[in-house]
Amino acid sequence: MPVKFEVNGKPVSVDVEPRLTLADCLRHHLRLTGTHVGCEHGVCGACTVLVDGDAVRSCLMLAVQAEGAKVVTVEGLSNDDDLTPLQKSFRKHHALQCGFCTPGFITTAHALLTEEPDCDADRVREVLSGNICRCTGYIAIVEAVLDARSAYKKTTP
Amino acid sequence: MKNTFIGASIERREDLRFLRGRGIYVDDLTVPGLLYAVILRSSVAHGRLKSVDTSAALKIPGVHAVITAKDMNFTDYPAGVPIVPMRLQPLPEFKPFEQPVIAYDKVRYVGEPIAVVLASSVAVGEDALEHIAVEIEDLPPVATWRAAQKNESILFEPTGTNRSLMFEARKGDADTAFRDAPYTRRENLRTGRHYGLTMEPRGVMAEWDAAKNKLTVSGAAKVPFFNRRILAKQIGLAESDIEMIENDVGGGYGARGEFYPEDFLIPFAAKHINRPVKWIEDRRENLMAMNHARETEADLEIACNRDGTIIGVRGDVHTDMGAYMRTNGAVGARNAPQFMTGPYRVPHHKVDSHLWMTNKTPVGTYRGPGRFEGCFYMERLLDMVAADLGIDRVEMRRRNLISKAEHPYKLATAQPTNAHDQTDSGDYHATLDLCLKEFGWSEKSKLGGKLVGGKYHGVGVACFIEGGAAGPKESARLEINRDSTITVFMGTSSVGQGVETIYAQIAADALEVPIERIRHVYHGSTNTVSDGYGAYHSRSVVMGGSAVLVATEKFMATLRQAAGKRLGCAESSVTLDVDKVVAGGFSLPLGEFAGLTAESAFLNHKHTYSYGSHATHITVDAKLGHIEILDYLVVQDVGRAINPLTLRGQVIGSLVQGLGGAVLEDLKYDEQAQFLTGTLADYLLPLASDFPNLRCIVTDDHPSPINPLGAKGAGEGGIVAAGGCMANAVANALQSFGVQPRALPLSPTYIWELVQAGQQKAAE
Amino acid sequence: MKMPPFEYACPTSLSEAVKLLASHDGEAKALAGGQSLLPMMAFRVAQPTLLVDLRKLSGLGEIKISADGVRLGALVRWRDIEDDDRLDAAHPLLKAAIAHVAHYQIRNRGTVGGSIAHADPAAEMPGIAVACDAEIAVMGKAGARIIKAADFFLGALTTALQPDEIITEVRLPAWPASRRSGFQEFARRRGDFAMAGAALFYDLDKSGKASNAHVGVIGVGDRPRRLKPVEAVLNGSAIDEATIAKAAAAASAAVEPQEDIHASAAYRRSLTGTMVERALKSAAG
């Protein structure tokens, strides 16, 4: 069935089976392969994208449910010129190794820091407990997210 | 210019693509005409495969073919079905236990491939699975090594036994030494079943070009050159007809990249149907198809003098091997008995290691294979002995650590492979002392056993050595590009460790050029160098890095020769200056020599041994059986740190995997050998909230004498001692109950049961 | 792990949704946040032939607080409960329990109605509904009806909901300001289903004795349930250490826990007592 929504600021329209997940739609129909699929049962968080600003697991959402929504993927949080402050912080702290879970951490951390730029380490750990990383042991990821908070704080006019 | 990239915390070049979602993993690939493979796996643990009826499945729109054993008729193999050979320890004894690429007469574990559906989409392929009728005559399942030992139900009937082999780890004369020993203690110790779960499940994409007689296989990892040799033999092609392509790889940990049945099935399918075929493992499959590891039970005895010095160890280790001997499946079962003595001086050593075949997913290596298990045995024994003899735990270790002057220290030899080994260098006492000092042992240990705020405090310590740098060789090649940059080609693979950055550091230092001049580092595909050995046994930095060094020497010699001739100068006067070749007042852009290339290999038959100590401070909520880590410190000496930033990532990352095995992870089966942990809600991986208080200190005070870098493999130090250290801390915390953990994982139920038993004993 | 094929409908009215659910011989399923249903479909454990997406139904996403109590629309998400500061006073027990539900991303989509309909024995929301004597309002082709929480959960993943019925609201009775409550659960990791948990409250009479005690447990047995013997221990007693110890022992004795790969039955029995003990201590705090 036909579905229209917005991905990374651009309108898209796809014709999909109802059973197609948003994750597979993004990856295989829209060729946005930065969103990774690690479990397909809503545990690992690698497929996290933003839907209308909320971090959600795109393997636990049907593409047809995205009708009319604004979806942002890791590609939408990146640019060609330079790494974003969050990405720079991940690189500085070596908060990634194989990189497979990384897009899910970037989208989740971005949602968290956008809403709660003052979050503390416990809150970061609580929120990131929905994303599994097998390489880093998380210490560097938490450091990277905490270190990136300043970039999300609203500058006072 | 004199560079110091080696030793600097250089940010990784790989990150630029990974952080932006631009890494290309195997499932990100697509080609026109692609078909999707879905694998029907046995739901029966042990049975005779009577028939597979695919006719109904073939009628489903979108299903192009269903492949079974009947489609294979390879004359090199008795049943026509190729067998996956052992890569390491390829002993004739193991031959009868090797795995066919698809079940043809028996199924031997839940998850064994029976049929391959080729369909227009994965979803359609999965729909078709329900329409394949499989008839299996049930046989009694063998669910544990103890059941295997009875030999009542035999997995491979012609062999007459469920024991594929017994390794013998030997040193000195243990039986005599035990006879005269003033003190002995015997213990039964167990480790859980874990695996090197990678966040990216496995995947293979195969393209067959019949016109060019060329098979291209994407999704390679770890050991692509070796896997090409296996595939070429199985499928009847020349090695040069096959190209293995390594894409970005979402984790390895020893498990990913070995040759699995799918590594034959998917290329075969592509050739069979003459269309490109892709298979991406789903997580449920991954849990039951990727190599399992670690499930052992050890019955061990230690003999000591009254002052705590170890006289010897002896006993038996039983490993639950699962249903087949896979490529590297014997490594853990050999390492556990051979290396259980770790950094300790043990003159007499006699441990037999029994490899039992059971109806479970076959076993392979997982980071620190056998070493995690062996360290757990040894460290538990040391704490119990120290208590028996009234010796402080730390002093017990100091008295037994191999001293600086004793290197190279001979470890036990494993038979029948005649595997000799010895340490290389180091000051084991110094890392222990540093660890205790930085950890604050003298203060924290005073809390041991105390009940504070409803929780019992405990501290634990454990020491380890980590073997690395498996030979026999590794290759590197450098080539000049037209833009005057240099590309490095490697025979090793990337599984996420950051080798592109590290090899660039080593090459830039050796060539004395800015690191940006090393434009690309290519690795892992069979088109990079003439031969490669891959990424395992913490070998990438030592073997690959040393190969880069020797290749840069050959590269400079070749360049000097070419430039000397071109400029009419003495070869010895030629130097490389960023992007120019300079000699005798002349200079040429390096790009003038585009295409100049030099390949060389580093040969080595010895192992490096990085080493160190773990210390942890935990609390235990005895009513919940819950452990919280308040502080955990790993100190590891790595000979020479190439990149401290990524090294810390290796230590902390492997530590958390070790803590997963110590506290959370366990692959479970019921008594019918049905698999019970088929989701990530059942197989519990550590989360960001589980272990927040971890530290590491990496030193490089004692370079390895066996390679030009002085580096030692360092990917496993965090994991090896984690089980022993945590169990020791639990014993310390719960000493008032007389608790001695003898098994991993330290799950809430297990700890609670130990406390209950302790309370009951006290009441009696 | 691709889902089996199904039809999909996204009605705009409740009556239309009910009609759709009734149209597929009991093989249709309502889809709210999908955080429990879609994983079951990914494993092909659930194979509905029609999914009726409730997201366009208006009025089901509100949290209404009045003198009668708290009404949670079926499409209220965990996130909405977490963010609603009014609930700190209006229903502190609900707030405390929901803090344990799953993870950040799930909380952005998982719903009250979805969790109630899914009926996992270890889930927090069904536990709160049972502990608090909630009423579950449903709409079906026979019209609207109210089902008491105690009658709603029939077993693991089994409820009194008819195939054509949709949960519209969960009604929690009013919460007096002076009420004491506690919630405790223990899971292997953060966000996992609890091996056992306790949700309880009581009121204090003028003499400082407990009355109207409600003690619910999750994760032990096939459904959330109230432990009447524990409530009997509490009612009429001061909540002191002796009473708490008695209540904990009564809780352990009152449950028939199951064994699974994460916990033995004996462990769960003990844990249930510990959870009740700790919940009472935090309530008395």
Same domain, C215 and C261: yes
Same domain, B688 and B579: no
| Separation CA B104–CA B113 (nearest Å) | 10
Alpha helical stretches, state H, C108-203? 112-118, 124-131, 149-152
The answer to whether position B400 is within a domain reads no
Orientation of helix B371-389 relative to helix B722-733, angle to 10°:
30
Q: What residues contact residue B669 under an 8 Å CB cut-off, 6+ apart?
A: B45, B143, B360, B675, B676
Kindly tell me if the per-residue pLDDT of B764 is higher than 90.
no
**CB atoms B689 and C189 under 8 Å:** yes
| Separation CA B83–CA B77 (nearest Å) | 7
Q: What pLDDT, on the 0 to 100 scale, is given for residue B584?
A: 85
| Separation CA A121–CA A18 (nearest Å) | 40
User: In a 10 Å sphere around its CB, with 0-12 CB exposed, 13-18 middle and 19+ buried, how is residue B587 labelled?
Assistant: middle
Same domain, C89 and C169: yes
Please state, rounded to an integer, the average pLDDT across all residues of chain B. 97
Same domain, B722 and B616: yes
Q: How close, in Å, is residue B689 to chain C by CA atoms?
A: 7
| Separation CA B281–CA B276 (nearest Å) | 17
Same domain, C26 and C74: no
Confidence of residue B435 (pLDDT cuts 50, 70, 90): very high
Q: What pLDDT, on the 0 to 100 scale, is given for residue A154?
A: 78
Q: Measured in whole angstroms, how far is the alpha carbon of residue B272 from the centre of its chain?
A: 33
| Separation CA C191–CA C123 (nearest Å) | 11
B236-257: average pLDDT: 97
| Separation CA A154–CA B13 (nearest Å) | 31
φ, ψ dihedrals at B551, nearest 5°: -70, -35
Same domain, B501 and B591: yes
Domain boundary among B603, B623, B650: B603
The answer to whether position B214 is within a domain reads no
* Mutation to test the C interface, candidates A19, A27, A48, most C Cβ within 10 Å: A19
**CATH code of the domain in which C233 resides:** 3.30.390.50
CA dihedral B533→B539→B540→B541, nearest 10 degrees, is: -140
Range of the domain at B540: 15-23+470-603
Domain boundary among B603, B619, B652: B603
Same domain, B591 and B612: no
Task: Please state the domain count of chain B.
Answer: 2
The residue written with tokens 């079951």 in the block is C40
* Chain B hits for C2, Cβ within 8 Å: 121-123, 126
Angle at B232 between CA B227 and CA B237, to 5 degrees: 155
Alpha helical stretches, state H, B596-716? 644-659
CATH 1.10.150.120 maps onto chain A at 85-152
**CB atoms B248 and A101 under 8 Å:** no
| Separation CA B543–CA B549 (nearest Å) | 10
Joined together, the tokens standing for residue C95 give 């707030």
φ, ψ dihedrals at B535, nearest 5°: -120, 100
- Residues A2-77: name the CATH superfamily: Beta-grasp domain (3.10.20.30)
User: Nearest chain B Cα to A45, which residue?
Assistant: B199
| Separation CA C132–CA C142 (nearest Å) | 27
Q: What pLDDT, on the 0 to 100 scale, is given for residue B1?
A: 54
CB distance from A40 to chain C under 8 Å?
yes
Give the closest residue to B631 by CA, choosing from B396, B454, B460: B460
| Separation CA A16–CA B690 (nearest Å) | 39
Q: Which of A24, A60, A111 comes nearest C39 by C-beta? A: A60
The answer to whether position C58 is within a domain reads no
Same domain, B638 and B716: yes
The answer to whether position B203 is within a domain reads no
**CB atoms A130 and C102 under 8 Å:** yes
Q: Which amino acid is at B30?
A: T
User: Nearest chain A Cα to B718, which residue?
Assistant: A137
Same domain, B664 and B564: no
**CATH code of the domain in which C84 resides:** 3.30.465.10
Query: For residue range B159-203, what is the model confidence (pLDDT) as tens digits?
Result: 999 999 999 999 999 999 999 999 999 999 999 999 999 999 999
Query: For residue range B391-408, what is the model confidence (pLDDT) as tens digits?
Result: 999 999 999 999 999 999
* Chain A hits for C6, Cβ within 8 Å: 18-19
Write out residues in chain C with pLDDT < 50, as ranges: none
Joined together, the tokens standing for residue C229 give 């013997």
Same domain, B617 and B737: yes
Query: For residue range B247-303, what is the model confidence (pLDDT) as tens digits?
Result: 999 999 999 999 999 999 999 999 999 999 999 999 999 999 999 999 999 999 999
Give the closest residue to B302 by CA, choosing from B235, B230, B380: B380
| Separation CA A16–CA A4 (nearest Å) | 11
Query: For residue range B196-231, what is the model confidence (pLDDT) as tens digits?
Result: 999 999 999 999 999 999 999 999 999 999 999 999
Buried b (16+ CB within 10 A) or exposed e, A125-155: bbbbbbbbbbbbbbbbbbbbbbbbbeebeee
Strand partners, B244: B217
- Residues A85-152: name the CATH superfamily: [2Fe-2S]-binding domain (1.10.150.120)
| Separation CA C261–CA C275 (nearest Å) | 20
Same domain, C145 and C187: no
**B27 and B203 Cβ atoms separated by less than 8 Å:** yes
**B155 and B142 Cβ atoms separated by less than 8 Å:** yes
Give the closest residue to C269 by CA, choosing from C284, C247, C285, C254: C254
Q: What pLDDT, on the 0 to 100 scale, is given for residue A156?
A: 53
Same domain, B486 and B498: yes
Q: What residues contact residue B404 under an 8 Å CB cut-off, 6+ apart?
A: B426, B427, B428, B429
| Separation CA B163–CA C257 (nearest Å) | 39
Query: For residue range A42-93, what is the model confidence (pLDDT) as tens digits?
Result: 999 999 999 999 999 999 999 999 999 999 999 999 999 999 999 999 999 9
Q: What pLDDT, on the 0 to 100 scale, is given for residue B177?
A: 98
**B63 and B123 Cβ atoms separated by less than 8 Å:** no
Give the closest residue to B276 by CA, choosing from B208, B326, B329, B324: B208
The residue written with tokens 């004369």 in the block is B173
The answer to whether position B141 is within a domain reads no
Q: Is C96 helix (H, G, I), strand (E, B) or coil?
A: helix
**CB atoms B664 and C190 under 8 Å:** no
**B295 and B319 Cβ atoms separated by less than 8 Å:** yes
Q: Which amino acid is at B670?
A: D
Q: What pLDDT, on the 0 to 100 scale, is given for residue B161?
A: 98
Task: Please state the domain count of chain C.
Answer: 3
**C145 and C136 Cβ atoms separated by less than 8 Å:** no
φ, ψ dihedrals at B583, nearest 5°: -165, 135
DSSP string, A97-129: SS-SSHHHHHHHHHHHHHH-TT--HHHHHHHHT
The answer to whether position B499 is within a domain reads yes
Confidence of residue B631 (pLDDT cuts 50, 70, 90): very high
The C residues from 181 to 220 touching B (CB cutoff 8 Å) are 186, 188-193, 195
| Separation CA B670–CA B679 (nearest Å) | 16
* Chain C hits for B681, Cβ within 8 Å: 192-193
Same domain, B610 and B737: yes
Domain boundary among B587, B603, B619: B603
Q: What single-letter DSSP state applies at residue C227?
A: -
Q: For residue A74, how many other CB atoms are within 10 A of its CB?
A: 28
**CB atoms C104 and A108 under 8 Å:** yes
**CATH code of the domain in which B747 resides:** 3.30.365.10
Q: Which amino acid is at B159?
A: T
Give the closest residue to B753 by CA, choosing from B618, B620, B622: B622
| Separation CA C234–CA B41 (nearest Å) | 54
Confidence of residue A155 (pLDDT cuts 50, 70, 90): low
| Separation CA B239–CA B237 (nearest Å) | 6
Query: ipTM of the assembly?
Result: 0.98
Domain boundary among C173, C198, C219: C173
| Separation CA A3–CA B479 (nearest Å) | 50
Strand partners, B327: none
Q: Is C201 helix (H, G, I), strand (E, B) or coil?
A: strand
* Mutation to test the B interface, candidates C188, C272, C274, most B Cβ within 10 Å: C188
Same domain, C166 and C225: no
Give the closest residue to C177 by CA, choosing from C99, C81, C88, C97: C88
CATH 3.10.20.30 maps onto chain A at 2-77
Same domain, B654 and B754: yes
φ, ψ dihedrals at C8, nearest 5°: -135, 135
Kindly tell me if the per-residue pLDDT of A157 is higher than 90.
no
| Separation CA C3–CA C9 (nearest Å) | 16
| Separation CA B394–CA B435 (nearest Å) | 11
| Separation CA C173–CA C189 (nearest Å) | 32
| Pairs of residues, one from chain A and one from chain B, whose beta carbons lie less than 8 Å apart | 176
| Separation CA B545–CA B551 (nearest Å) | 10
Query: For residue range B563-596, what is the model confidence (pLDDT) as tens digits?
Result: 999 999 999 999 999 999 999 889 999 999 999 9
**B658 and B694 Cβ atoms separated by less than 8 Å:** no
Joined together, the tokens standing for residue B440 give 């604050």
| Separation CA C185–CA C125 (nearest Å) | 13
Range of the domain at C154: 63-173
Q: What single-letter DSSP state applies at residue C84?
A: -
**A138 and A128 Cβ atoms separated by less than 8 Å:** yes
DSSP string, C129-174: HHHTT-EEEEEETTEEEEEEHHHHEEETTEES--TT-EEEEEEEEP
**B498 and A140 Cβ atoms separated by less than 8 Å:** no
The answer to whether position B726 is within a domain reads yes
Same domain, C38 and C89: no
Same domain, C190 and C237: yes
Q: For residue B677, how many other CB atoms are within 10 A of its CB?
A: 18
Give the closest residue to B186 by CA, choosing from B346, B462, B385: B385
Joined together, the tokens standing for residue B3 give 């560079």
Same domain, B657 and B553: no
* Mutation to test the C interface, candidates A57, A113, A119, most C Cβ within 10 Å: A57
Same domain, B692 and B759: yes
